[in-house]
Structure 1
Amino acid sequence: MNIIKNHIVKNIFSKAILMMLLLSFSCWISANNLVVKSPNDKIIVGVFNSNNTENGKWFLNVKFNNNGKITEAISKIDLGLILSEGVSFDEMKLIKTSKPLLIKENYVMPHGKSSQRHNEGNEVVFTFENKEKKKLNIIVRVYNDGIAFRYSLSEKGNFTVQDELTSYLIDPETTRWTEKWNPANEGLYASMVSDKIQQEEWCYPALFQTKDNCWFLLHESAVDGTYCGSKLSNKSDKNQYKITFPDPKDGRGKGEALPKITLPWKSPWRAIIIGNLNDIVASTLVDDVAPPSVIKNMDWIKPGAVSWNYWSSNHGTKDFKTVCEFADLALAMDWPYTLLDWEWDSMGNGGKLEDALKYIHSKGIKPLMWYNSGGDHTWVSSTPKDRMLTHENRVAEFTKLKKLGVAGVKVDFFESEKQEMIQYYIDILEDASQFEMMVYFHGCLVPRGWSRTYPNLMTYEAVRGAEWYNNGPEFTTTGPVHNTILPFTRNVVGSMDYTPVTFTNSQFPHLTSYGHELALSVLFESALQHFADRPEGYYELPDEPKKFLREVPTSWDKTILLQGFPGKDVVMARNKSMNWYIGGINGENTEKTLKIKLDFLDKNKKYKLRVIKDGKHDKKLVTDDSVVGSTDSVDVKLLRRGGFVAVISPL
């Protein structure tokens, strides 16, 4: 009996101590105004001193209100910079906190996951002073769907940034989906937790799920020529993901790995999307914190589908007749564009470039053309190599392309995210915009919000896409699962040219069903969607899926995740004008039936629902039509590695 009493007393005492600590913590926060909340109160960011004293190391703590339950998303985000000349913002003193500023924006995007963009956030600027009395501002914004923070130095001077101390401490019980660092950002995502966590350098974006089911995605935005691109590394501590600068060997060792800054200066935004999985998928935070568009008239920026010959014939553009066949395909499928990939300057078998362009235009199709990024940063010698490399070369080439009626360029092989390479990307976008030329980056970095500033940037590769069916047998088995992870990771942060929807085989086969492949046209957002199959792959489809591919948009008004989990399956609905398009895939090796709720539809309206789904085997598609409303749901059976699409149009 005494043992029980002692146990009860100890419990009461422990709870009392905990309450006192929480109360003192709460008073400390409010007294120092070191907390920033989102306008909807769902995300709370606290600013702390590690020593709990006036001077010391500072960090952020991120909490999430998950339907009334407060959960800790990230326990500690270390802050600080180490500059040349012995300037260190490591041990600092907080000297000033600004009043909260409400950030509220509405803007329009001509392409992407949503057309009308709205964001709300609260901004607080924390001013710190180091031992040398130099000041560092840390700007913290807490939006309804995540947080963003950046460093700002307002004094004068020139420095090299020796290190950025930003790092994210992640609980070992938090599951993570991360891609091992590679300059082209074309790896596979691996899922790991606890003792399975690997220690590597990692690409952006990185996805995390806490044991309390709070999701967050780590990324960066508004990277420009005043800084380099960064990556994440947990090599020193498996649960500490530190921002790391480019490897000096990247880009054949050309360019400086450490960024050089001229003050006044602001760093890129460190962006964290936070919420449930739908919040992650629908978020436009990476664009929201990027600078507004520098292009006033965007009427010439036209998203659309593209026919592309490289997947089925790696040297297709060398062959005039192949180029003409893919122009014919674009015409037959009502796609506005065809891409002339590498080797267009070596074209033969009946015609040269000018003949091909003349034929393409005669069909009412607009050509896009490939370029090597050039320079010593790439080993690839494929021509034309240097026509994008300097301002003078770009002006000459864009002038020529404009006269030839070319609508845009694909620029390849960047191989580095060093500061001078970041500036090179932006110089291409700036010059292309002056000639109303659309741009597609290939062999490149992951999106950093540039499409908001330069909406002529239509898409990026930076993904292990269908091209990998050419590179070896591995993607045959890894592709189905990989496809279910991309909507929650890479494609969240910007357009992704996976080059999807292939029904025939390339050099190595795929195991995905026709329904799975068809669904990728909806699941994978890319303003220029390069449909990669050979002409007969599309011509031999039944009428219903063929009609679907003629009409499926490549830019969207709204995006909603209906259900899914990375690595298992995903179902997404995207809206364009009056119609909804749904794509769903199964990444697993077992059949399953998914119940799709239609409660996102307008109430008191009836709709025509057309579902195109797996049939009895992988190469069979069947179509069902019905009338539905917002209170209805539909069961869809998916084959192993299968999929489906649906179109919902108002009656």
Structure 2
Amino acid sequence: MNTFRYTFLVFLVAMAVSVHAQRLYSPNKKIELSLSQSTEKPGNWFLSVYYHGATKTPVFSQIKLGLETQDQSFTDQLSLKKSSKPVPIHEQYTTLHGKRLERANEAQEITFTFTNAKGSTLNVVARAYNNGIAFKYEFPEKSEGTWVMKREATAFVVEEKAERWLQAFVTSYEGFYPAQKETIQTGEWGYPALFKTGDQNPCWTLLTEANVDRNYCATKLSNRQNKSSYQLEYPAATDGNNTGPVNPTLTLPWSSPWRVAIIGQLADIVESTLVEDVSKPSQLTKTDWIKPGVSSWVYWAYNHGTKDYKKLCEYVDLAARMGWPYTLMDWEWDEMTNGGTLEDAVAYAKSKGVKPLLWYNSGGAHNQVSSGPRDRLTTPESRAKEFAWLKKIGIYGVKVDFFESDKQEMMRYYLDILEDAVRYELMVNFHGSTVPRGWSRTYPHLMSMEAVYGGEQYNNQEYMTSKGAWHNTLLPFTRNVIGPMDYTPVAFTNSQHSHTTTYAHELALAVVFESGIQHLADRPAGFDQLPDPAKFMLSELPTAWDETRFLAGYPGKEVVIARRKAARWYVAGINGEDRSKNVSIPFHVLEKGKTYRAELMADADYDSGFNVKYLTIKAGDTLDVKCLPRGGFTLMMQEL
């Protein structure tokens, strides 16, 4: 009897552990996820992810799991107690700005429940979407007090032959995404990270995180210990001018941010809304004050232009002429002279039907930037006073700069600003910031974030002169995938350092890049010199899209993107290479049986010219467009 009971218990344990061997598939069966226990280190667990395209491709042979708190380990000696049955996730929601108005959020979800050596419980909740996977950790038990997290053991193992495009980590996320193929570099890397696995039937993967809240910090990737294993790491102690603790403090019950991998073909990457899909829905009931749109911007051409009332008024007049709803009054507005104060400039803008936006230094001990105004938003009391004044004088949104840290206290500061801004109906744009982590869904008045080596870099370094076009063709596959991007595009004239992109390339950036508020960079003379078709396109430019489709391209070479607003399609392409080429546009996104009138603005024979053509196009047609080196084109289409 004892032998039988022992054998039966062993059988039950084996059955419990074998439950993990069931595979979780996405609704379309293209993504496969499974849980396994290490044979070398029993009690250590990992996920494996495969993509079923033309062939079965390993995306991550292992995603190592685990957490360590101040007094407990959840990295080894873990026992799998149970795994839930797969649960379908069906969710539909509508956005106010972004790639797509109507979102469908569908997945299969499974929860694995572990206990550690002390009997404490850890859940791993995993989802398989049609275009990727996401997972998070949970401490489901309630407990008094707080827990300090020591480290997160999550690590993504990528096959050595995979090609990768990674940005070396800096707190501002401003840098390039050079390809790594023959030689894999080691170091610290910022999100998002792009990988290509396989040559004949490649699978693409973009790695990032989403739904960071007050109960955790943001993380980065490091492969310093193993070049093929990208470990999640907390911020450095020196970040944010050495302010704030590195290790996050948790209250229970607790959930981590989602660790997100967008998986599939390049269209799956570019068109994905997965970062926002897994993030917390908005609780706002009144949103009529949140209005996406185009803004004029004085800083690019005149770094200290906001000090000059008359110069600032020129940009108000530009917005009024072009039909743009906004103008941004950038840093040093508290030092305005030459005929008026900030209040005068705001009154002038309102008299022209233009809505002013205002810049702030985030202030505080986390940055040493002296430019003002600073230190006005650092406490709840100071924010309330400042935001009430902004509402009174007629400001519609704020641009807050220089955060310089991803520590938990900075995550809380971002969210404090967003939540306080709701009370005064102020839209928000973060600069010198972290990358988007799904907050635009939770807080739809978050219109954009910088976290990109953008147009203003022509003021700072010469790198954009030689690398700008190449860099621009990487961003739709990397940074702009995960959320709105305040690149500040479109400049036909030069700032401190010249650009070598063509006029048609610059015009196309207004469509290729997505941002809830699109700050167009050039000086008034740059826009005034444009031919009428280009002016009309910019005057009608949407910044919130009903649909976004990837048509063609490859990172660093070229990209063609189609975006739809109501019945009008905008198709834009850019050439990232230093050679002329024909770029082929397939029109499979158009509705069958309908004919569209199209206006094409492409490169002429010289870089400052436009070749304007009028065409008719049907679904299934293909159009070849000649692009100059670093050139581009824009196509506006509407049904006849």
Q: Report SS of the residue matched to 1:189.
A: coil
For residues 22 and 170 of structure 2, the distance between their equivalents in structure 1, rounded to whole angstroms, comes to 38
Correspondence for 1:275? 264
Say which of 499, 505, 510 aligns to 1:521: 510
Which one-letter code corresponds to 1:285 in the other structure? Answer: L
Identity of aligned residues (%): 51
Correspondence for 1:397? 386
Say which of 112, 133, 148 aligns to 1:126: 112
Is 1:594 aligned with 2:580? no
Correspondence for 1:170? 158
CA drift at 1:87: 3.7
Is 1:91 aligned with 2:77? yes
Correspondence for 2:542? 553
Say which of 178, 181, 206 aligns to 1:190: 178
Q: Is the 8 A contact 1:29 1:35 kept in 2?
A: no
Is 1:318 aligned with 2:284? no
Q: Report SS of the residue matched to 2:584.
A: strand
Equivalent residue runs for 1:81-120 within 5 Å: 81-120=67-106
Is 1:217 aligned with 2:203? no
Q: Is the 8 A contact 1:586 1:638 kept in 2?
A: yes
For residues 32 and 509 of structure 1, the distance between their equivalents in structure 2, rounded to whole angstroms, comes to 57
For residues 374 and 592 of structure 2, the distance between their equivalents in structure 1, rounded to whole angstroms, comes to 56
Q: Is the 8 A contact 1:33 1:97 kept in 2?
A: no
For residues 31 and 570 of structure 1, the distance between their equivalents in structure 2, rounded to whole angstroms, comes to 44
Q: Report SS of the residue matched to 1:204.
A: strand
Correspondence for 1:63? 50
Which one-letter code corresponds to 1:182 in the other structure? Answer: V
Correspondence for 1:232? 221
What is the CA deviation profile of residues 247-272 of structure 1, one whole-angstrom value per residue up to 9, with x for unaligned ones?
00000100001111111111000001
Is 1:285 aligned with 2:274? yes
CA drift at 1:599: 1.8
Which one-letter code corresponds to 2:118 in the other structure? Answer: E
Q: Is the 8 A contact 2:155 2:230 kept in 1?
A: yes
Correspondence for 2:358? 369
Question: TM-score, with normalisation over the residues of structure 2?
Answer: 0.96
Which one-letter code corresponds to 1:361 in the other structure? Answer: K
Correspondence for 2:31? 43
CA drift at 1:86: 3.8
Q: Is the 8 A contact 1:319 1:349 kept in 2?
A: yes
CA RMSD of aligned residues (A): 1.3
Which one-letter code corresponds to 2:147 in the other structure? Answer: F
Q: Is the 8 A contact 1:82 1:163 kept in 2?
A: yes
Say which of 519, 525, 531 aligns to 2:520: 531
Q: Report SS of the residue matched to 1:117.
A: strand
Correspondence for 1:298? 287
Q: Report SS of the residue matched to 1:312.
A: coil
For residues 266 and 88 of structure 1, the distance between their equivalents in structure 2, rounded to whole angstroms, comes to 14
Q: Report SS of the residue matched to 1:512.
A: coil
What is the CA deviation profile of residues 401-433 of structure 1, one whole-angstrom value per residue up to 9, with x for unaligned ones?
111111000000000000000000000000001
For residues 20 and 639 of structure 2, the distance between their equivalents in structure 1, rounded to whole angstroms, comes to 54
For residues 71 and 218 of structure 1, the distance between their equivalents in structure 2, rounded to whole angstroms, comes to 17
What is the CA deviation profile of residues 281-329 of structure 1, one whole-angstrom value per residue up to 9, with x for unaligned ones?
1110000000000211211110000000000000000000011000000
Correspondence for 1:343? 332
Q: Is the 8 A contact 2:136 2:255 kept in 1?
A: yes
CA drift at 1:205: 0.3
Q: Is the 8 A contact 1:172 1:193 kept in 2?
A: no
For residues 251 and 538 of structure 2, the distance between their equivalents in structure 1, rounded to whole angstroms, comes to 50
CA drift at 1:32: 4.2
Moved more, 245-254 or 211-220: 211-220
Correspondence for 1:383? 372
For residues 399 and 268 of structure 1, the distance between their equivalents in structure 2, rounded to whole angstroms, comes to 33
Paired positions, count: 622
For residues 59 and 463 of structure 2, the distance between their equivalents in structure 1, rounded to whole angstroms, comes to 35
Equivalent residue runs for 1:330-479 within 5 Å: 330-479=319-468
Which one-letter code corresponds to 2:177 in the other structure? Answer: Y
Which one-letter code corresponds to 2:173 in the other structure? Answer: N
Say which of 215, 224, 245 aligns to 2:234: 245
What is the CA deviation profile of residues 328-363 of structure 1, one whole-angstrom value per residue up to 9, with x for unaligned ones?
000011100000000101000011111111110000
Equivalent residue runs for 1:539-618 within 5 Å: 539-618=528-607
Unaligned stretches of 5+ residues in structure 2: 1-14
Moved more, 307-316 or 97-106: 97-106
CA drift at 1:30: 7.3
Rate the CA distance shift 1:87–1:32 in 2: closer, same or farther, 3 A.
closer
Correspondence for 2:192? 205
For residues 603 and 28 of structure 1, the distance between their equivalents in structure 2, rounded to whole angstroms, comes to 52
Q: Is the 8 A contact 1:29 1:46 kept in 2?
A: no
For residues 32 and 234 of structure 1, the distance between their equivalents in structure 2, rounded to whole angstroms, comes to 28
Rate the CA distance shift 1:214–1:30 in 2: closer, same or farther, 3 A.
farther
Q: Is the 8 A contact 1:82 1:90 kept in 2?
A: no
CA drift at 1:89: 3.5
Q: Is the 8 A contact 2:20 2:36 kept in 1?
A: no
Rate the CA distance shift 1:125–1:650 in 2: closer, same or farther, 3 A.
same
Q: Report SS of the residue matched to 1:122.
A: strand
For residues 487 and 76 of structure 2, the distance between their equivalents in structure 1, rounded to whole angstroms, comes to 41
What is the CA deviation profile of residues 194-250 of structure 1, one whole-angstrom value per residue up to 9, with x for unaligned ones?
4x1111100000000001400010000000110000000001111110000000000
Which one-letter code corresponds to 1:325 in the other structure? Answer: E
Moved more, 171-180 or 30-39: 30-39
Q: Is the 8 A contact 1:503 1:533 kept in 2?
A: yes
